[in-house]
Amino acid sequence: MSVPLKLIYHEEPTRSIDNDPRKAVIKPIVTYSNISKSYGDLHVLKNIDLNIAPGEKVALIGPSGSGKTTLARLLMTLEEPTSGTIEVDGEMLWHQRVKDKLVKANEKHLHQVRGNIGMVFQHFNLFPHMTILRNVMEAPRNVLGLSKEEAKQRAVTMLEQVGLAGKIDAYPAQLSGGQKQRVAIARALVMRPKVMLFDEPTSALDPELVGEVLEVIKAIAAEGEMAMLLITHEMEFARDVADRVLFFDQGRIIEQGPPKKIFNNPESERLQTFLSRFNRH
C-alpha cells in the first residue's frame, strides 16, 4: 500500500523533505497522530503529529520541560497518551482493532510491540552484579528466548561494534561512564529494534567522555537501517547525524527541517532565542 508523502510528513513538509529521495518510501515506521499527554492540569504534549520514515534520523531539540522525554516515553510504552494514537511499523501501540472498534491494548500486545523499540537513557542502569557480556545477553536470552550460544554471539558482535570487545568480562563498576553508556547502547541494539530512541545519552557524562559515545551513535546511524529519535543538547552532533531536526517548545513542534535550515536559518523567534542562548554556553 502506498501512502503519499503528504501523509508521511503531514506535519508541514519542509522544502528539503519534499526533495528527500525517501519520499518514495511506502510507509512511515513511526506515526504519532494527534497525540496529547497531560498530567492533571499540565498539558505536556499538545496534538503532536509526527511521522518518521524507515531509516530516518530525527533529532529533537528544545528547552528543558518542553516534553521531549515524554514524547520518547510514549513511544517506549512507558507512558500512555491521554489522546491520539501511535503506530510503529503499522501497528498501534496502545490500541488494538477489534472488529471495527479501537480498544485498549492488552499487556501481551504491548510486550510484543515494545520489542520493536530500543531506548538509551541518560542513566545507563546496568546490572552491577553481572559482567558486561551478561548485561548484553540477558534480554536476548530472556525476552527473545535465544540459546546461550546465539545470545552470546550477538552480544559479542554488538560489544565489538561499540568498541568494548576487550571488556566483556569486566563488571560495570570497572568501566568509565562513557564505556557504561556504550554497553547500554549495545544492550539496546542487540535486540535489533526497528527504532532507537536516545534521550540525552551524554548529558550525565563528564565532558571528556561525551565524544566517544557520540562517535558510537554516529557510526550506528551511518549504517543507515534503523530509524532514530535523538534527544540531545549537542547541537554539532544533531547537525552531523540528523536528517531532520525538530524544535520543541511547550509541548509542540514549533519548527522543523533539515539541520542546515534549522541551525543556519531558524524562522521562529523562539528557535532563534533558543539557539542564541545555546551558543553563549
Ligand X SMILES: Nc1ncnc2c1ncn2[C@@H]1O[C@H](COP(=O)(O)OP(=O)(O)O)[C@@H](O)[C@H]1O
Residue 162's binding partner, choosing from ligand X, Mg ion, none, with beta-carbon cut-off 5 to 8 A by kind? none
Q: How far is the CB of 46 from ligand X (least distance, A)?
A: 11
Residue 70's binding partner, choosing from Mg ion, ligand X, none, with beta-carbon cut-off 5 to 8 A by kind? ligand X
Q: How far is the CB of 274 from ligand X (least distance, A)?
A: 12
Q: Which is nearer to Mg ion, 68 or 152 (CB)?
A: 68
Q: Is 69 in the site for Mg ion (CB under 5 A)?
A: yes
Q: How far is the CB of 67 from Mg ion (least distance, A)?
A: 8
Angle at 255 between CA 28 and CA 219, to 5 degrees: 55
Q: Tell how far CA 65 is from the center of its chain.
A: 18
Q: Is 197 in the site for ligand X (CB under 6 A)?
A: no
What CA–CA distance (Å, rounded) separates 37 from 39? Answer: 7
| Size of site (CB under 5 A) for Mg ion | 2
Among 18, 39, 111, 112, binds ligand X (CB under 6 A): 39
The stretch among 25-33, 57-65, 109-117, 187-195 that binds ligand X (CB under 6 A) is: 57-65
Q: How far is the CB of 203 from ligand X (least distance, A)?
A: 11
Give the residue carrying C-alpha cell 565532558: 207
Among 17, 35, 44, 254, binds ligand X (CB under 6 A): 44
**Residue at 194: amino acid letter:** K
Bridge partners of residue 36, in order along the sequence: 83
Q: How far is the CB of 79 from ligand X (least distance, A)?
A: 7
What CA–CA distance (Å, rounded) separates 209 from 231? Answer: 18
Q: Which is nearer to ligand X, 28 or 67 (CB)?
A: 67
What CA–CA distance (Å, rounded) separates 174 from 111? Answer: 33
Q: Is 278 in the site for ligand X (CB under 6 A)?
A: no
Q: Is 77 in the site for ligand X (CB under 6 A)?
A: no
Among 1, 2, 21, 64, binds ligand X (CB under 6 A): 64
What CA–CA distance (Å, rounded) separates 146 from 140? Answer: 6
Give 90's Cβ-side CA count (13 Å radius): 5
Residue 177's binding partner, choosing from ligand X, Mg ion, none, with beta-carbon cut-off 5 to 8 A by kind? none
Q: How far is the CB of 161 from ligand X (least distance, A)?
A: 28
170 exposure class (CB count in 10 Å sphere: 0-12, 13-18, 19+): middle
Q: Is 69 in the site for ligand X (CB under 6 A)?
A: yes
Among 32, 50, 68, 168, binds ligand X (CB under 6 A): 68
Give the residue carrying C-alpha cell 571528556: 208
C-alpha cell at 236: 554539532
Do the beta carbons of residue 58 and residue 258 sit within 8 Å? Answer: no
C-alpha cell at 157: 558482535
What CA–CA distance (Å, rounded) separates 136 from 144? Answer: 13
Q: Which residues bind ligand X (CB under 6 A)?
A: 39, 42, 44, 62, 64-70
Q: Which residues bind Mg ion (CB under 5 A)?
A: 68-69
